[in-house]
Structure 1
Amino acid sequence: MTLLAHISDIHIAPLPKLHLKDLLSKRLTGYLNWKLTRSGALGGTGLQELVAHLRQQETDFIAVTGDLTNLALDTEISRAGAWLQSIGGAETVCVSPGNHDAYVKGALETAYSEWGSYISGETMETGRFPFVRRIDEVAIISCSSAIPTAPFMAIGEFDKQQADRLSRILSVLKNAGFFRTVLIHHPPNVELQHPSFGLRGHRLFRDVIAEHGAELILHGHTHRSSVHSVDGPNGEVPVIGVASASANQGSPLDDPARYNLFRIERNGTGWSCTMREYGFQRLGSEIVMRLQMRIY
């Protein structure tokens, strides 16, 4: 039996001290958005309380689907690295980066350097993504949709090169009998696409899953709890999103801070997988189990 936790959209707060040179880019619009909107929606003590609750679960692995930072400043990236160390060692935690982690050109490369083994694993050929982590019979396959974009845009991208590697990885892991869990920051399903914050290449991603299958797809980005699906070769594949781990309870923009916990074990020739969602509700100050759902 494997316990897999999913947490996302950390948006570590508060912003560090900024200098004028830091704002001579897309970061200016991001800074204004933080000051006018996001500083009231994200931050506070919820993240610390949520992580403390998560750590009590004694998980086997923690999947983080991106947006650890806000403006991808060097200081933020360094703080995010320290936060990753606080939730577990790199052998039990991995990251699929988000658009805020690639906010400007060069930022993601800095994150690769700072986060090291948290954002790496077994790969095919020379491509950094997808990479694979294996925990008993569960394989975590981390893709990347993180790219720098223009102001007011939060789109992601999944290209053909990554799709080709994902196809081969899924095929190899299926033949080896693994429960294949795919991570990507931006949701790949049709229902959550939008010109300014959707996934460029979402059809390509779904085509790969339709051909080779997967047992589970996890994403962040929307700051909402959600359950959708995409087509697989033998039926639907669950696509599950989680709310931002730093969202305040009073935010009208986001669901309150939450994480998901998956209990995965082999059941004869198939799989048993149950999801529990833990987090805050709109009212009350306690972290509670909001949902329990059998996936397989």
Structure 2
Amino acid sequence: MINLAHISDIHLSPMPQVGWRDLLGKRLTGYLNWKLRRHDELNSETLASLISHLQSQQVDFTAVTGDLVNLALPAEIERAGAWLNALGPTDKIAVCPGNHDAYVPGALEAAQQNWGEYLKGETLDDGAFPFVRRIGELAVISCSSAVPTRPFLAVGRFDEPQAHRLGRILKVMGEAGYFRTVLIHHPPNPELQHPSFGLKGHKLFRQVIAEHGAELILHGHTHRSSIHSIPGSGGEVPVVGVAAASSAQGGTLDDPARYNLFRIERQGDGWSCTMREYGYQRLGTEIVMRLQMRIH
């Protein structure tokens, strides 16, 4: 049996001291959005409480599906690296990057250098994504939809080269009998697409899953708890999103902070996977188990 935790959209706060020279291009609109809308909605106290609760569980591995930072300032990227070190060792945690981690050109490369092994694993060639982490019979496959975009856009991109590599990985891991869990920051299902914040290449991603299959897909980005599915080669594949890990309980824009915990074990020729969602509710002050359901 393997216990897999899923958190996303960390958005570490407070914002570091920002000079006007830091606010060129897209960072200016992002900073104004933070000050006017987000800075009361996302906070470090909520995040700390949620992580403390997660760490009290018997977790074998944690998947972090992106957006550790806000404007991808150098100080934010460095602080996110320290936060990951406090969360746990590199062999217990994998990160797939989000759009805020690639907020401006060069930001993702800086994160890859600073966060190191948290953003690495087994690969088929010299492409950084997807990479694979194997934990017992679990294969965590981390894709990247993170690309810099113009102001007021938060779209992601999944392209042909990454699709080709993902297909090969899914085939190899499937033939070897692993429970294949795919990480991607932007949701790939058609219900959650939007011209300003959806995934370019979502149809391509679904084609790869339809051809090669997977057991589970985890994403962030929406700051909402959600469960959908997309067709796979062996049947419907659950697509699970999670609320932002730093989302304040009294916020008005997003679901309160939550994380998911998946209990995965083999049963005969198939799998059993039970999902439990923990976090805050609109009312009350405690972190509770909000949901338990079997998804395999």
Q: Give the equivalent residue in structure 1 for 2:22.
A: 22
Separation in 1, partners of 2:97, 2:181: 16
Contact 2:153 2:197 in 1 (8 A): yes
Counterpart residue identity of residue 7, structure 2: I
Aligned length: 296
Gaps spanning 5+ residues in structure 1: where?
A: none
Matched, 1:254 2:254: yes
Could you say which residue in structure 1 is the equivalent of 2:137?
137
Q: Distance in 2 between matches of 1:15 and 1:117?
A: 25
User: Which residue does 2:113 correspond to in 1?
Assistant: 113
For the 8 Å contact 2:180–2:215, the answer to whether it is kept is: yes
Unpaired runs of 5+ residues, structure 2, are: none
Structure 1 stretches of 4+ moved >2 Å: none
Which residue in 2 is equivalent to 1:263?
Answer: 263
**Correspondence 1:197-212 to 2 at 5 A:** 197-212=197-212
User: Take 2:100 and 2:294, find their aligned partners in 1: how far apart are those partners?
Assistant: 32
Q: CA deviation at 1:125?
A: 1.1
Structure 1 residue 36 corresponds to structure 2 residue 66? no
**Are the structure 2 counterparts of residues 44 and 83 from structure 1 closer, same or farther at C-alpha, using a change threshold of 3 Å?**
closer
The answer for the alignment partner of 2:127 in structure 1 is 127
- The amino acid across from 2:265 in the alignment is E
Tell me if structure 1 keeps the 8 A contact 2:163–2:204: yes
CA distances 1:98-135 after superposition (whole Å, capped 9, x unpaired): 00000000000000000000000000111000000000
Quick one: distance in 2 between partners of 1:104 and 1:176?
39
The secondary structure found in structure 1 opposite 2:264 is: strand
Once residues 152 and 195 of structure 1 are traced to their aligned partners in structure 2, the CA distance between those partners, rounded to angstroms, is: 11
Helix, strand or coil at the partner of 2:40: helix
Q: How far 1:20 sits from its partner (Å)?
A: 1.3
Amino acid aligned to 1:47: L
2:86 — aligned with what? 86
Q: What per-residue deviation string (whole Å, max 9, x for no partner) do you get for residues 39-58 of structure 1? A: 01111411000000000002
CA displacement at 1:238 relative to structure 2: 0.2
Query: Which residue number in structure 1 is paired with residue 177 of structure 2?
Result: 177
Counterpart AA for 2:113: S
Contact kept in structure 1, 2:242 and 2:259, CA below 8 Å: yes
Alpha-carbon distance, 1:205 to partner: 0.1
Letter in 1 for 2:125: E
The one-letter code sitting in structure 1 at the alignment partner of 2:96 is: S
Query: Distance between the aligned counterparts of 2:233 and 2:112, measured in 1?
Result: 34
Partner of 2:77: 77
- What is aligned with 1:244? 244
SS in 2 for 1:45: helix
Letter in 2 for 1:98: G
What TM-score results when the alignment is normalised by the length of structure 1?
Answer: 0.99
Q: Is 1:186 aligned to residue 186 of structure 2? A: yes
3-state SS of 1:12 partner: coil
C-alpha separation in 1, matches of 2:43 and 2:25: 24
Percentage of pairs with the same residue: 69
SS of equivalent to 1:126? coil
For residue 64 of structure 1, what is the aligned residue in structure 2?
64
One-letter amino acid matched to 2:78: S
Q: How does 1:275-290 map to 2 (within 5 A)?
A: 275-290=275-290
Whole-angstrom distance in 2 between the partners of 1:24 and 1:154: 17
- Give the 3-state SS of the residue equivalent to 1:286 in structure 2: coil
